[in-house]
Amino acid sequence: MTALQKLGEELIAESRDRVKRVPMPEDVRDAILECQQIKDHEGRRRQTQYVGKKMRTLEPHEIAEIQKTLDSWRGLSKADTAAMHALERHRDRLLKDDGALTELLAHHPELDVQHVRTMIRNARKEQAENKPPKAYREIFQLLKELQKSSGNQDDIDAEDDDEQDEHN
């Protein structure tokens, strides 16, 4: 009962567009959408209780579908964030260590070496002179494109793992 109440509260916390995409009966969706509009504390509390009551009327397979949808939203954003951090670490390694450029070129021989070196040199110069990070961002975009085109997130992760091992 409490778990279903919490599941309802999680749905209430989501955006209206997301709630509309969750596979669930109309009456439950309407109760959630109505609760999202209530500003009064006591009114919202009562409506939240009502949502919990409605959640208890759902079949186990419906609850599983709702939970699966919520989990996929959470998992996707965590994976995206982790991938973004990995790219940021890779970019920072490129700026600190010339060996990282050699590794990158070994994995992606199609890259224009001169262009990448120019971006790295410009990014270092921007940092030294406290200028806006234009080249710094360009390097990130380049790494992001490489990741998309090759689908080699594992390469970047493996290089980051190697770096972590070296520091530990």
Provide the pLDDT for residue 71.
81
Provide the pLDDT for residue 151.
66
The average pLDDT across 3-13 equals 88
Provide the pLDDT for residue 76.
62
Reported as a single tens digit per residue, the pLDDT across 110-166 is 999 999 999 999 999 999 999 998 999 999 999 988 888 876 444 444 444 444 444
Confidence of residue 85 (pLDDT cuts 50, 70, 90): confident
Q: How many residues does the chain have?
A: 168
Provide the pLDDT for residue 161.
46
Reported as a single tens digit per residue, the pLDDT across 24-82 is 999 999 999 999 999 999 999 999 999 999 999 988 888 888 888 888 877 766 677 78
CA dihedral sign, ordered 6, 10, 12, 13: positive
Residue with tokens 């669930």: 24
Tokens of 61: 């397979």
SS (H, E, C) 3-72: HHHHHHHHHHHCCHHHHHHCCCCHHHHHHHHHHHHCCCHHHHHHHHHHHHHHHCCCCHHHHHHHHHHHHH
On the 0-12 / 13-18 / 19+ scale of CB atoms within 10 A, 111 is: middle
